[in-house]
């Protein structure tokens, strides 16, 4: 399945600029009288809607940066807005129906005053109840791992009706799979999963658009073997524990002199991303990379991040892990 997040070990200048704009000086502080209210304060997953952010207590006519912190502590910039002479503004934002389930936080920082206001927003699970007599069978191909596939067969739908199919991923986000025609009340679809798909428990839902019958299948995608060392090369990550929005230094040793070494990253959610290729002069290399928290285009989820270095000539493989913590302040 194709995702929109781009791989990349060295963050682009644009990404760095966004990060600096969100989290650099002036340091944000809580101030009495500053408030941020969101209406509504919760929404069910699966439906897109509008929400209103009410900001007050900021400096007169100052620019205010707003961002959203997801349940896994990654960050999505929502933009810069100018309050009025009374320090007040109402901002209308889009709430995407595919947002992950859980508690989100919207934050607003005054870029002149440095004051900060935060409010929670809850994304609730979509209301899905299975219909008696409807079932979805699941079979696996290639062991149900990344690199394999799953086949789903639905039964008990109305003959010839169109069935809408979607996936709920391990992080609670929803992905549209498309539709299938239920010939004689049955339909089938196969879905391949690669190293870009997170490991964990998925749900596949099939909804009959005519009968309104619903079936749900539960299945688990397990990880491929992308983090095993092989040979005498070594890789060190420093520091071994850090936060999003910080940097990590990788030092490789023991590779063939002058060979090309491929670097890839296994995220905490089990997804694997190609980073870049470098030259190991004298069998060694040193690389420094940023760990962005932005999504959906870039982003490192909190947890164990593993870097893998592969010598393209020597076939040597070395790995190093970093424990990544939230960089948003929550």
Per-residue pLDDT of the chain (330 residues; tens, 9 = 90+): 332 333 444 333 233 333 334 444 344 555 568 999 999 999 988 778 899 999 999 999 999 999 998 888 878 889 999 999 999 999 999 988 888 889 999 999 999 999 999 999 999 887 788 999 999 999 998 778 898 999 999 999 999 999 999 999 998 888 889 999 999 999 999 999 998 899 999 999 999 999 999 999 999 999 877 667 777 899 999 999 998 888 999 999 999 999 999 999 999 989 999 889 999 999 999 999 888 876 655 678 889 999 999 999 999 999 999 999 887 655
Residues 35 and 113 in one domain: yes
Looking at 77, 105, 124, the residue that finishes a domain is 124
Q: Is residue 129 part of a domain?
A: no
Residues 252 and 317 in one domain: yes
Looking at 192, 221, 250, the residue that finishes a domain is 221
Residues 216 and 276 in one domain: no
Residues 115 and 177 in one domain: no
Residues 207 and 263 in one domain: no
Residues 186 and 154 in one domain: yes
Q: Is residue 67 part of a domain?
A: yes
Residues 274 and 317 in one domain: yes
Query: For residue 205, what pLDDT is reported?
Result: 95
Residues comprising the chain, all counted: 330
Contact 257, 313 (CB under 8 A): no
What domain count does the chain have?
Answer: 3
Q: Is residue 140 part of a domain?
A: yes
Q: Is residue 215 part of a domain?
A: yes
Q: Is residue 6 part of a domain?
A: no
Residue 169 is part of which domain span?
A: 135-221
The CATH number of the domain holding residue 279 is 2.60.40.1930
Contact 163, 209 (CB under 8 A): yes
Q: In whole angstroms, give the CA distance from residue 81 to residue 220.
A: 43
Q: Is residue 78 part of a domain?
A: yes
Residues near 20 by Cβ (< 8 Å), separated by ≥ 6? none
Contact 72, 302 (CB under 8 A): yes
Residues 153 and 172 in one domain: yes
Residues 304 and 281 in one domain: yes
Q: Is residue 18 part of a domain?
A: no
Residues 108 and 151 in one domain: no
Q: Helix, strand or coil for residue 312? A: coil
Q: In whole angstroms, give the CA distance from residue 35 to residue 116.
A: 8
Tokens of 87: 């320090």
Residues 87 and 157 in one domain: no
Residues 110 and 166 in one domain: no
Query: For residue 30, what pLDDT is reported?
Result: 57
Q: Is residue 20 part of a domain?
A: no
Contact 271, 198 (CB under 8 A): yes
Query: For residue 29, what pLDDT is reported?
Result: 58
Compute φ and ψ for 159, nearest 5 degrees: -60, 130
Looking at 124, 151, 171, the residue that finishes a domain is 124
């Amino acid at each position: 399945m194709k995702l929109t997040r781009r791989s990349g070990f060295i963050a682009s200048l644009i990404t760095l600029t966004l990060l600096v704009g969100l989290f650099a000086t002036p340091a944000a502080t809580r101030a009495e009288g500053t408030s941020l209210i969101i209406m509504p304060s919760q929404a069910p997953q699966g439906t897109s809607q509008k929400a209103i952010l009410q900001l007050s207590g900021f400096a007169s006519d100052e620019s205010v940066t707003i961002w959203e912190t997801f349940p896994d502590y990654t960050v999505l910039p929502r933009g810069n807005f100018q309050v009025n002479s009374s320090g007040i503004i109402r901002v209308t934002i889009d709430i995407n129906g595919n947002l992950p389930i859980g508690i989100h936080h919207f934050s607003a920082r005054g870029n002149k005053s440095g004051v900060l206001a935060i409010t929670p927003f809850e994304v609730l699970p979509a209301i899905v109840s299975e219909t008696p007599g409807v079932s979805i069978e699941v079979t696996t191909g290639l062991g149900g791992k990344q690199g394999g596939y799953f086949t789903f067969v639905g039964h008990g739908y109305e003959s010839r009706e169109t069935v809408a199919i979607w996936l709920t991923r391990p992080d609670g986000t929803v992905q549209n799979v498309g539709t299938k025609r239920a010939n004689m009340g049955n339909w089938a679809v196969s879905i391949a999963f690669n190293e870009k798909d997170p490991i964990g428990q998925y749900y596949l839902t099939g909804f009959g658009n005519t009968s309104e019958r619903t079936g749900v299948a539960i299945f688990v995608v397990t990880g491929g073997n992308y983090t095993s060392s092989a040979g005498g090369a070594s890789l060190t990550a420093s520091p071994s524990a850090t936060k999003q929005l910080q940097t990590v230094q990788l030092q490789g040793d023991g590779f063939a002199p002058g060979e090309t070494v491929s670097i890839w990253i296994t995220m905490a959610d089990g997804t694997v991303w190609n980073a870049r290729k470098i030259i190991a002069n004298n069998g060694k290399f040193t690389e420094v990379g940023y760990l962005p928290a932005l999504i959906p285009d870039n982003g490192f989820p909190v947890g164990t991040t593993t870097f893998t270095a592969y010598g393209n000539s020597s076939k040597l493989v070395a790995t190093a892990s970093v424990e990544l913590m939230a960089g948003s302040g929550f």
